[in-house]
Amino acid sequence: MPDNIVCQGCMLAKDGIHLPGGWALNHYEGGEGYLGWLAIAPVAHRMTLAALSDEEQFTFMSNVVAIEAAMSSYRMDDRIVRFYMCYFAESLVTHPFHFHVHLIPRYESLQMKAWDMAKATKSEGFPEKYQKTPERIKALMDYLREVLKSPR
């Protein structure tokens, strides 16, 4: 697909934190998410990993490493011990599909398996401190915007 295609994914990417190499970072807004669940996408329209140029592939991974480091030092009362990177190559909201990867933090105290996490976030009793609120998302994204703008 040509670079001039505009889809909902392109619009979401334009609103995100702009990262080196033409990438953007957003907080995931889906109903099953929780605080810190992010999505990284190219600002230019791409549909698959294979559609990325060599430079885009390199900057993608460089940005993921920087995001992981920034999130690991974000001050919450629970430590992030790892991230899941999920690329499903499908979307319920963007048409045509726009390549994006979910970056899902695993907090030390949340001992759920990845496949249980999305279901658990919708259930009663999911820990309040991980729930998304506009204020928490804004604070996290402001922090990431500041940390990720510095040269790496």
In this prediction, what percent of the chain has a pLDDT beyond 70? 78
Per-residue pLDDT of 56-93, as tens digits, reads 999 999 999 999 999 988 877 788 888 888 887 666 55
pLDDT of residue 58: 95
Calculate the CA 149 to chain-centre distance: 16
Q: How is the chain split among helix, strand and coil, in percent rounded to 5?
A: 40, 20, 45
- Residue 132, pLDDT > 50, answer yes
pLDDT band, residue 1 (cuts 50/70/90) = very low
Neighbouring C-alpha atoms within 13 Å toward the C-beta of 57:
7
Phi, psi of 145 (to 5 degrees): -60, -45
**Better-scored residue on pLDDT, 95 or 81:** 81
Going from N- to C-terminal start, the domains of the chain cover 8-149
Q: Which residues pair with 24 in a beta bridge?
A: 18, 41
- Assigned fold of 8-149: HIT family, subunit A (3.30.428)
pLDDT of residue 25: 95
Over residues 11-39, the mean pLDDT reads: 86
Look at the block and give the residue holding tokens 């807004």. 29
- Residue 16, pLDDT > 60, answer yes
Q: Please state, rounded to an integer, the average pLDDT across all residues of the chain.
A: 82
**Better-scored residue on pLDDT, 104 or 5:** 104
Q: Which of 12-26, 65-79, 123-137 has the lowest mean pLDDT?
A: 123-137
- Residue 39, pLDDT > 70, answer yes
- Residue 94, pLDDT > 60, answer no
pLDDT of residue 7: 75
Look at the block and give the residue holding tokens 């490493």. 65
